[in-house]
Amino acid sequence: MKKTIAKILLYIFYFSAMFILVIQLGKYLVNLSFIEDFILFIPRWLVFIPIILALIINHKLIRSQLIIISLITILLSIFYLHFYVNLPTLTKNTHNTSIRVMSFNMSGGAFDSRKLNIQIEYNQPDIMIFQETLTQKLTKALPENWLLNCQQSLCLASKAASKVINFQTRRIFDGWGTFAALFELKINGQRTYILNIHLETPRKAYENIRYGQFNFSLMKDIYEQRYLEATLSKSLAAEHHPIIIAGDFNMPSDSWIYSENFSDFENTFNEKGFGSGYSKHTRLLGVKIDHILIDDNFSVIKSWVDIDTGSDHRPIFADIIHLSPTTELYSPRN
């Protein structure tokens, strides 16, 4: 009986793993629409539950198929779990000053402005980009003499003056709020553009699943809206260089929508982060949906996700450097 249960669990693991890998690899060939969201937003560790239970019930069965199980685990780790292992980059050119960028969605949970103030004092960012901004609480946390510029709930805080040169609202979708705002400011004497984005969440389409209700029409409509918002955001960034794109994308970087619209930019955590990069946490789920992207006028030195401040999102940071013909980069490994 135990052997039969272990075999069933093993087959469930094989089927789940193959299904996930087909979806993950297939999306590079065809748009799988909202189907891929099931794979991207469930707790990714769930895929290993059947094989762990099978190991507990009948370890001899697992040992007999250890090679294929190991191969599948490696493929899942590469194409699905995305545990990043990167070393920071150093620069030999001391005349180039690194820029520390912070992005943070403030809403959700019990946000504590004192914790944010401590983080700001400790990390000393040069630019802070906020979504779903709680303006009164943020003002208390900002250092003295910093300037705050907001387009509705999308805000940019810096020591230098900034201006909003373009933005996009959800009125075209019969909704409300701004999902993209393009700022201009000077950093170290260099005119720089910051695109602050907060794309539509897929959560609305899946909230009723726990009650056994599947609204596929709503899932499809929200997926299409998210794609259009990403495309419009990318169009705001066009012809503006150098540019930093940061915010709550509401999608991981292995999403088809992300790949279609933002793959031309460098994802700072993917390149120089360590670990899972989960920036949003719930009781069962961690997911990497907040990103800091840069164009090829910058290079990233390091990137990380910081500690909890009470929001269900965590602040993300990136140290970047503006490239010039004299900038020489090297890796600590060399």
pLDDT tens for each residue of 128-137: 999 999 888 8
Q: Hey, what's the torsion of the CAs at 21, 27, 28, 30, to 10 degrees?
A: 140
Q: Say if residue 132 is in the same domain as residue 270.
A: yes
pLDDT recorded at residue 40: 84
For residue 104, what are the contacts with CB-CB under 8 A and spacing of at least 6?
116, 128, 129, 130, 131, 290, 309, 311, 313, 314, 315, 316
Together in a domain, 71 and 119? no
The CA distance from 88 to 196, in Å, is 25
- The structure's pTM equals 0.89
* Same structural domain, 92 and 72: no
Do residues 210 and 295 both lie within one domain?
Answer: yes
Q: What is the CATH number of the domain that holds 259?
A: 3.60.10.10
Segments forming the whole domain that contains residue 286? 85-330
Residues of the chain with pLDDT under 50: 94-95, 326, 329-334
The answer to whether residues 121 and 230 belong to one domain is yes
In this structure, the answer to whether residues 194 and 312 fall within a common structural domain is yes
Looking at the 3D structure of the chain, how many domains does it have? 2
Output the CA–CA distances (angstroms, integers) from residue 115 to 241, 307, 311, 317, in the order listed.
34, 9, 11, 16
What element of type H or E holds 311? none
- One domain, residues 156 and 247: yes
Q: Are residues 107 and 72 in the same domain?
A: no
The confidence score (pLDDT) of residue 158 equals 96
Are 293 and 210 part of one and the same domain?
yes
Name 130's Cβ contacts closer than 8 Å, sequence gap at least 6.
103, 104, 105, 106, 138, 154, 155, 156, 157, 196
- Same domain as 91, residue 37: no
Do residue 126 and residue 208 come from a single domain?
yes
DSSP 8-class letter at 259: H
51, 81, 111 - which closes a domain: 81
Amino acid at 179: F
89-140: pLDDT as tens digits: 765 554 458 999 999 999 866 778 888 889 999 999 999 999 999 888 888 8
- Whether residue 276 is found in the same domain as residue 294: yes
Examine the fold and report which residue of 53, 81, 109 is the final residue of a domain before the chain moves on.
81
